[in-house]
């Protein structure tokens, strides 16, 4: 059962990140246990996403000169 958090209670970024990691790991474990995805497929997908993110970051750091 989900815990109710008082809206007055501050949640740190660390707590949010830890919760996100736990949820993601639980979902991955379920997908692998149910043989919906293999560990190899998961690793390949992670590599692909990392490469895409690196490319986006490289593209965002490019300086575009405007010739006038």
Domain boundaries, the chain: 22-59
CB neighbour list of residue 11: distance below 8 Å, 6 or more residues apart:
5
Is the pLDDT reported for residue 5 higher than 80? Answer: no
Cα–Cα distance measured from residue 50 to residue 59, given in angstroms and rounded to the nearest whole number:
14
CB neighbour list of residue 8: distance below 8 Å, 6 or more residues apart:
none
Is the pLDDT reported for residue 6 higher than 70? Answer: no
pLDDT (0 to 100) of residue 32? 94
Cα–Cα distance measured from residue 12 to residue 45, given in angstroms and rounded to the nearest whole number:
30
pLDDT (0 to 100) of residue 10? 87
């Amino acid at each position: 059962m989900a815990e109710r958090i008082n809206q007055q209670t501050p949640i740190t970024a660390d707590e949010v990140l830890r919760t996100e990691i736990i949820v993601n790991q639980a979902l991955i474990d379920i997908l692998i246990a149910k043989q919906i995805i293999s560990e190899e497929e998961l690793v390949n997908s992670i590599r692909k996403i990392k490469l895409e993110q690196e490319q986006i970051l490289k593209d965002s750091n490019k300086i575009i000169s405007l010739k006038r």
